[in-house]
Amino acid sequence: MTDRKVLVVDDEIHIVQVVAIKLRNNGFEVVTAENGAEALELVRSQHPDLVITDYQMPVMTGVELIENLRSDAEFVELPVIMLTARGFAIEDDKKARLNVAACLSKPFSPREVLQCVQDVLQQVSA
């Protein structure tokens, strides 16, 4: 389960750090970004196995990031986990249309994120 690359995108740096540390401690390579625009560039250059993105971010939101990824044939199937603050739930139809693998509400535990990443990657490789 090692050698998998995960891109973590959130404008709250402490969330990025907590998630990155938990994933790195469990054998993942982690790339980080502070907004959707930066993340889009990193997806194209780094080709992560999975993206964890916040919903609300400056420059480009998580939804806009996913829409951009889905419009590129290379990243149509790239698994994405969406982090949402309370009150920013993503509707089921939008979740399906954007092919969002999972949603986690803040606050979450690093263990929850790790489990979610492992579950999603397992489904993808199954």
For the whole model, what pTM was predicted?
A: 0.94
Residue-wise pLDDT for 18-63, tens only, equals 999 999 999 999 999 999 999 999 999 999 999 999 999 999 999 9
What's the CA gap between 75 and 77, in Å, rounded?
5
Domains of the chain: 5-118 (3.40.50.2300)
Residue pair 7/42 in contact by the 8 Å Cβ criterion: yes
